Copies of this chain bind each other. A is one copy, B any other.
Amino acid sequence: MKIILLSGGSGKRLWPVSNNARSKQFVRVLPSPSGGTESMVQRVVRQIGETMPDCDVTIATGEAQLGVIKAQLGTGVDIVTEPERRDTFPAIALATSYLAMEKNCSDDEVVVVMPCDPFTDNGYFATIGRMAEAVKDNAADLVLMGICPTYASPKFGYVVPQKGEAGKPVMRVEGFTEKPSEDKAAKLIAEGALWNGGVFAFKLGYMKAITGRYMQAASFAEMRKRYGELPKISFDYEVAEKAKSIAVLPFSGVWRDLGTWNTLADELPGCCIGNAIVDNPECGSQVINQSGLPLLCIGTSNLIVAASPDGILVADKEHCERLKEFVDKLPQEPRYEEFGWGSRRVVDTSASAVTTHVCIQQGSSTGKIYSDEHSCVLTILSGNGNVEITGRGIITLSAGEVIKIVKGEAYEITTSTAMQLIEVRL
């Protein structure tokens, strides 16, 4: 059994702690069992490891998230990046092609596709195990997870079981209803409908056949190259709604979408994360401070205050849902980015220059950085290593060293000890 985690999304609903390079699933604020904090995707991958230790994980994502995924998950997962953002059907088609053609999985291999950011308990993963069993037993071509509804939400998609199936451990599916009115939702729930949790299990050959209708590629490389030929459509519309044989398994444990500050706040460990003082810890205000500046909250109640190199948010918890409309108006260039080798944080911008604090982990390499648009000055603050500049050879680096990179040059830094440097782009 293979798991494909879908990692997409923009960073607008948890701004400014998330941004375009660091969607909500990468925000490291949840309490981890080790006593520190972990992100939603780190939590899900940890839970998979705990409940299904033999299960390989492949992450389907966009190029922009490659760095942060490597930074947060290391080498324990495979990563398939889409050449361009399309929709969930092409993304899943590409990831299953990777399993078939690069990992040589057989057509009978059970594949489970799931989102990378639900906040759940381990029972969720036990349900996934039973879904895989149902696929293996040919209960249906496509097996879904149905979340047992707790209220008549108009925001979810509903999976409607066939008449007489309600209460069975594996129910045959009649159809789907996307975001019904509240009245309609209540009626559906009374008839046994479940929320569509976005978790799908199927045999690899099933998805191969569907993909084959659009493209016959001889290799994963060819598939990736011709990615633009796949239709921009969701997996729900292209596969689930057209499927002839669908079953659903119910899940009734903890299942939350921590996609807004209001919902995330309930899961945060205490009222302050980062360098912050809240005068009254019982006031309901919560602070996430990643800005490097001291932060004080005095006499406030029921606020979310979040600060990062990207900006500062002060919001009443009840009004957090309106965040996106305002963030859309702000500059989208992320000022904090994580990579497999370290991180970059913009500390100053002026009309003529951008100044960035760069951290490079011990024994890492930045890969080639092209300075096509600007010259830059690197001042090493701490650490040891070297820089290779195209046409100029290798120069040893240590604290106090200053390197000028001319416009048009490329450079790559390799460290022996963890390094910090200031880069001024002119």
Name the residue on B nearest A278 (C-beta).
B314
Assembly CA distance A379 to B305 (angstroms): 35
Q: Is the CB of B424 within 8 A of A352?
A: no
Give the CA-CA distance A141 to B382 in the complex, in Å.
65
Partner of A312, one of B307, B400, B402: B307
* Contact between A295 and B311, CB atoms less than 8 A apart: yes
Query: Are A348 and B347 closer than 8 Å at their CB atoms?
Result: yes
Interface residues of A in 287-323 (CB under 8 A from B): 289, 291-301, 303, 305, 307, 309-316, 318-320, 322-323
B331 near A315 with CB under 8 A, answer: no
Assuming the contacts A350-B357, A357-B348, A381-B424, asked whether A300 and B298 have C-beta atoms less than 8 A apart, the reply is no
- A292, B298: Cα distance in complex, Å: 23
- Verify B296–A316 contact, CB threshold 8 A: no
Q: Does A422 contact B (CB under 8 A)?
A: yes
In the complex, the answer to whether A291 meets B312 with C-beta atoms within 8 Å is yes
CB neighbours of A355 from chain B (8 A): 347-348, 355, 357, 422
**CB–CB B348/A322 < 8 A:** no
Answer whether A379 and B377 are a contact pair too, CB < 8 Å, given A312-B294, A399-B426: yes
How many A residues face the partner with a CB closer than 8 A?
Answer: 61
In the complex, what distance in Å separates the CA atom of A123 from the CA atom of B303?
43
Please name all residues of chain B whose beta carbon is closer than 8 Å to the beta carbon of A353 when the two chains form the complex: 381-382, 420, 422
Q: Is the CB of A277 within 8 A of B326?
A: yes
- Residues A314 and B296 in contact, CB atoms below 8 Å apart: yes
A294-B311, A311-B295 known; A375-B400 Cβ under 8 A: yes
Decide if A279 is an interface residue (CB 8 Å cutoff): yes
Closest chain B residue to A380 by CB distance? B426
Chain B, Cβ-Cβ closest to A285: B314
Whether A299 and B318, one on each chain, are in contact in the complex, defined by CB atoms closer than 8 angstroms, is yes
Q: Is A351 among interface residues, defined by CB-CB distance under 8 A?
A: yes
Question: How close is A307's CB to chain B, nearest CB, in angstroms?
Answer: 6
B350–A381 CB distance below 8 A: yes
Check B347 against A279 for contact (C-beta < 8 Å).
no
A299–B318 CA distance with the chains assembled, in angstroms: 8
State the Cβ distance, A108 to closest chain B Cβ, in Å.
51
Is A327's beta carbon under 8 Å from chain B? yes
Is A392 among interface residues, defined by CB-CB distance under 8 A? no
Is the Cβ of B312 less than 8 Å from the Cβ of A426?
Answer: no
A329 contacts B by Cβ under 8 Å: yes
User: What separation, in Å, do the CA atoms of A400 and B424 have in the docked complex?
Assistant: 9
Q: Is the CB of B296 within 8 A of A323?
A: yes
- A277–B15 alpha-carbon span in the complex (Å): 14
Would you call B298 and A313 a contact (CB within 8 A)? yes
Q: Using an 8 Å CB-CB cutoff, how does the interface string of A213-225 with B read, 1 for contact, 0 for none? A: 0000000000000
Contacts of A155 in B (CB 8 A): none
User: Which chain B residue shows the least CB distance to A311?
Assistant: B294
Q: Which residue on chain B has the smallest CB distance to residue A308?
A: B293
Chain B contacts for A377, CB-based, 8 A: 377, 379, 400, 402
**Shortest Cβ distance from residue A9 to the other chain B in the assembled complex, whole angstroms:** 20
A168 at interface, CB cutoff 8 A: no
Closest 5 pairs (CB-CB, A-B)? A299-B319, A299-B316, A298-B315, A347-B348, A294-B311
Q: Can you give 26 A-B contacts (C-beta < 8 A)?
A: A16-B294, A279-B326, A292-B348, A293-B309, A293-B312, A294-B331, A295-B312, A295-B314, A296-B311, A296-B314, A296-B327, A298-B320, A298-B323, A299-B316, A299-B322, A300-B316, A307-B312, A347-B348, A347-B355, A348-B357, A350-B420, A355-B355, A355-B357, A355-B422, A377-B377, A377-B400
